[in-house]
């Protein structure tokens, strides 16, 4: 399997199974209900983990939660820890709603403080960091590879976190001394404060996956400065860190006002309530994970229509030519191309290949489609001559008898008898649809 790596801008081959694959994905900062764009990395990397597991890899997916941050202090002055706990619970409940299961670990920054402090101590001891008035900064000039991930020339990196106390405008905070109004803090050898955002992820990734792992994921908006800084910190303490950097494209809100609580965006909860998990998953399948995806009433309605089609498959005994399972696998092995895989699902649907469609949908956590069996019996035609093989096993002889009596009644235009016979057939669990030249017996079954 090959995945596009941001650092080398090339496709990198994963090793064959059962090589363990560790995946670290940057999660949300928790201070309000997460919007649907936050769900994209969750869904993409849950799918990837499911797929790698199905290939036989031993996968460990880590999706962190940033629960100490400026945004949380601002959102809930004086009660930031309580707000972070509450918003973490919302996030877990909302993402669980996709029905994809949950990551193997969802570490909290606030539960990784000892590891964060010891990593900063290491960076201070090696001269990669320095303290100023209780703050600790990373010394960008000490890390030769700075800018490699984001494509910045090291001498042209813009200033981050402006502060006159820094040695170099490019330096970024590893630790921030407590300011007025900040109610969550920890003691350290250099003063009371809280961690910077970037060091949290370096520490959580090492704690959960060790110093080296296969895949680091997150939205493309995190490449700079967040991931550039994570990489600088981790490599500076001697960790080889991620072998592949995967950056998902962003979700763009292109429609009108969509949310009561967030204005022009919609929360995960609102999307799941309004459209359902299946439609939301089909929506995410429509775009390649590296590309942007447009969210609007129209794109969601289109996804809903796709799901309605896929969720019911007319079983056929003989299939017109359609893609093989190997072709479906090939799409996913080639940089996890879900739009291509989705088009194969539609071709299986059109060809009535229920078993492959079911297996393909399951890869993305979509439920088994309802199998629809149909037999079209024309006037004067025997039922046995009209039924596909799969269906003949499912229709008892006495129902066939009733159907044939009803056809005979319709031919005579004896509609009273015809209606009575329809009711008896329905009572046996079968549907009848009338057409100008006969009737169709329909069985819908969820297997």
Among residues 72 and 377, whose Cβ is nearest to Zn ion? 72
Cβ distance to Zn ion smaller for residue 223 or 421: 223
Q: Which of residues 174-213 bind Zn ion (CB under 5 A)?
A: 201
Pair 286, 303: CB distance under 8 Å: yes
Strand stretches in 178-254, DSSP E: 193-195, 212-219, 241-248, 251-253
Q: Which one of 1, 7, 14, 26 is in contact with Zn ion (CB under 5 A)?
A: 26
Q: Which stretch binds Zn ion (CB under 5 A): 24-32, 137-145, 318-326, 414-422?
A: 24-32
Considering the rule CB under 5 A, would residue 62 count as an interface residue with Zn ion? no
Total count of residues recorded for the chain: 447
Contact 110, 68 (CB under 8 A): yes
Measured from the CB atom, is 217 or 323 closer to Zn ion? 217
Instruction: Give me the least distance between CB of 86 and Zn ion, in Å please.
Output: 22
Nearer to Zn ion, 245 or 383 (CB): 245
In the complex with Zn ion, which residue's Cβ is closer, 201 or 386? Answer: 201
Can you spell out the DSSP letters for 407-426?
Answer: HHHHHTT-HHHHHHHHHHHH
Stretch that binds Zn ion, among 22-30, 69-77, 250-258, 300-308 (CB under 5 A): 22-30
Residue 89 CB, nearest approach to Zn ion (Å): 21
Residue 65 makes contact with Zn ion by CB under 5 A = no
Q: Report, in Å, the least distance between residue 220 CB and Zn ion.
A: 13
The partner residues of 441 in beta bridges, in order of sequence, read: 375, 432
Q: Which is nearer to Zn ion, 233 or 338 (CB)?
A: 233
Q: Is 107 within 8 Å of 53 (Cβ atoms)?
A: no
**49 neighbors 189 (Cβ within 8 angstroms):** no
Question: With CB under 5 A, what is the number of residues at the site for Zn ion?
Answer: 2
Sorted by sequence, the CB contacts under 8 Å of residue 256 that are 6+ apart come out as 264, 297
CA–CA distance, 381 with 281 (Å, rounded to integer): 44
**DSSP symbols for 246-257:** EEEPPEEE-SS-
Please report, as ranges, the residues that interact with Zn ion according to CB under 5 A. Answer: 26, 201
């Amino acid at each position: 399997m090959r995945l596009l790596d941001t650092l080398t801008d090339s496709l990198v081959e994963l090793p064959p199974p059962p090589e363990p694959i560790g995946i670290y994905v940057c999660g949300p900062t928790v201070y309000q209900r997460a919007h649907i764009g936050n769900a994209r990395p969750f869904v993409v990397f849950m799918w990837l983990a499911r797929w790698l597991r199905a290939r036989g890899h031993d996968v460990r997916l880590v999706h962190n939660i940033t629960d100490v941050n400026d945004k949380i202090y601002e959102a809930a002055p004086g009660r930031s820890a309580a707000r972070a706990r509450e918003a973490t619970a919302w996030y877990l409940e909302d993402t669980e709603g996709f029905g994809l299961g949950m990551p193997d670990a969802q570490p909290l920054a606030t539960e990784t403080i000892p590891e964060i402090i010891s990593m900063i101590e290491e960076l201070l001891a090696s001269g990669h960091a320095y303290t100023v008035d209780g703050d600790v900064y990373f010394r960008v000039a000490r890390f030769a590879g700075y800018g490699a991930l984001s494509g910045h020339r090291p001498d042209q990196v813009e200033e981050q976190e402006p502060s006159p106390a820094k040695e170099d405008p490019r330096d970024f905070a590893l630790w921030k001394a407590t300011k007025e109004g900040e109610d969550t803090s920890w003691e350290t050898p250099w003063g009371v404060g809280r961690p910077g955002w970037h060091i949290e992820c370096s520490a959580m990734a090492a704690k959960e996956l060790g110093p080296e792992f296969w895949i680091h994921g997150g939205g493309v908006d995190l490449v700079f400065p967040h991931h550039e800084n994570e990489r600088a910190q981790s490599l500076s303490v001697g960790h080889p860190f991620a072998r592949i950097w995967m950056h998902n494209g962003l979700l763009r809100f292109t429609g009108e006002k969509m949310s009561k609580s967030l204005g022009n965006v919609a929360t995960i909860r609102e999307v799941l309530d309004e459209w359902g998990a299946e439609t939301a998953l089909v929506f995410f399948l429509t775009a390649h994970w590296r590309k942007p995806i447009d969210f609007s009433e129209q794109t969601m309605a289109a996804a809903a229509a796709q799901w309605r089609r896929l969720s019911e498959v007319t079983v056929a005994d003989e299939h017109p030519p359609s893609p093989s399972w190997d072709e479906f696998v090939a799409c996913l092995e080639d940089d996890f191309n879900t739009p291509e895989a989705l088009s194969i699902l539609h071709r299986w649907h059109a060809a009535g290949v229920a078993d492959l469609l079911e297996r393909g949908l399951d890869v993305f956590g979509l439920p088994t489609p309802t199998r629809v069996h149909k037999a079209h019996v024309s006037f004067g035609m025997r039922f046995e001559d009209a039924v596909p093989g799969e269906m003949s096993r499912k229709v008892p002889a006495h129902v066939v008898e009733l159907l044939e009596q009803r056809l005979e009644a319709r031919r005579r235009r004896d509609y009273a008898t015809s209606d009575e016979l329809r009711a008896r057939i329905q009572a046996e669990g079968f549907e009848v649809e009338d057409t100008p030249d006969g009737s169709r017996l329909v069985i819908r079954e969820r297997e």
